[in-house]
Amino acid sequence: MYVKIMPNRTGPLVAALLYDGLCTFEFGVVAEIFGLSRPEMGDGWYRFASCAIEDGPLRAHGGFSITPDCGPEMIEQADIIVVPGWRGVDKPVPEDLCERLRAAHARGARLASLCSGAFVLAATGLLSGGTATTHWRYADTLRQRHPDIAVDDASLYRVHDRVYTAAGSAAGIDLLIEIVRQDFGPAAANSVARRLVMPAHRTGGQAQFLERPVAIREGLEIAPLLDRMRADLTINWSVARMARDSGMSTRTFLRRFSEATGQTPGDWIAAERVNEAKRLLCQGQASMETIAMAVGFGSAHTLRHHFRSKVGLSPGDYRARFMSESGATG
């Protein structure tokens, strides 16, 4: 039976699978990105349906019951099928579900999993010979059960032949926004990211793309210095100057800085300069030399060296991949 979902839209149909023991956060991520009304995106935006794979009652983590939009027949219509976690890595995957997912993939649908949902996609056999990821806690188990899959426990997400797998719950956000970027372009992906109040999506699943805010311990004197350094990255922030500005000896300063940030001063300032360079790269077409001077690297060569070291891409490649069509960042 054909079920018309969101008849005022014409975009790809996304089906999020529901099961007893549903992982609430993972489902919420899918519903947030694909299921919210986004009139600014027009009629071609995604259609969304929650799809029960079994008879109820269905319960979700947190102690509440859920009512699906439709049953498993929606898998036959969906363009994108998302498995938002699984009820347990030791819980069997129904063969009927595997058959439906294999058939959907054969007709061209994309399949995606978040966190432990990788075990569902692995059970279909569609990941055989490819690379997948899951939460690091489950990586060894996935390797042992499916030795035909190369399990990458360092990436945010991986893709193999239209089958996407994401690592932990938050990495699922990166994956799903990447799907938005593929379907609707960087401006749409950045718009969704802004609404989620998170950085614009980082492609490739590399851990280096994660923003790592510095955790400052209360009572340490380093925080005011870090604020001053961020305010003017162009200054030659030598260790001697940092120590003097903090009113400490060099030896004490280095110890306190490491305690506060977990980094050396050189690594910290380089990371801050790279982060600012990322922002400037996505704002316009300023030259590499101009950006290098603006963030304190001094030359395009130095900028490229540190940028590739920390991001895994050249500044030019990063700009081409992440600059919004409108010139705005997320």
Q: Looking at residue 257, what is its pLDDT? A: 87
- Cα angle for residues 275, 277, 279 (degrees, 5° grid): 75
| Amino acid 326: pLDDT | 34
Domains identified in the chain and CATH numbers: 13-208 (3.40.50.880), 222-322 (1.10.10.60)
Query: Which pLDDT value is given to residue 221?
Result: 64
Contact 175, 82 (CB under 8 A): no
Query: What distance in Å separates the CA atoms of residue 1 and residue 71, rounded to the nearest whole number?
Result: 11
Are the beta carbons of 136 and 153 closer than 8 angstroms?
yes
Amino acid (1-letter code) at residue 307: F
pLDDT at position 327 is 39
Smallest CA-to-CA distance from 193 within 183, 180, 207, 212 is with: 180
Residue 86's CB is within 10 A of a number of other CB atoms, namely: 27
Q: Which residues pair with 16 in a beta bridge?
A: 50, 82
pLDDT, residue 156, reads 84
Task: Tell me what pLDDT residue 260 has.
Answer: 79
Task: Specify the pLDDT at position 323.
Answer: 64
| pTM across the whole model | 0.64
- At residue 65, the 3 state secondary structure works out as strand
pLDDT string in tens for the chain (330-residue length): 345 567 678 899 999 999 999 999 999 999 999 999 898 999 999 999 999 999 989 999 998 999 999 999 999 999 999 999 999 999 999 999 999 999 999 999 999 999 999 999 999 999 999 999 999 889 999 999 999 999 988 788 899 999 999 998 888 998 999 899 899 988 888 889 888 877 654 444 433 343 444 444 433 467 788 888 988 999 999 999 999 988 899 999 998 888 877 789 999 999 899 989 988 998 878 999 999 999 999 999 999 999 988 888 889 988 887 764 433 333
Residue 206's pLDDT is 36
pLDDT score for 124: 98
Report pLDDT for 204: 40
Contact predicate 184/41, CB 8 Å: yes
For the beta carbon of residue 168, count every other beta carbon within 10 angstroms: 17
Coil, helix or strand for 240?
Answer: helix
In whole angstroms, give the CA distance from residue 97 to residue 44.
29
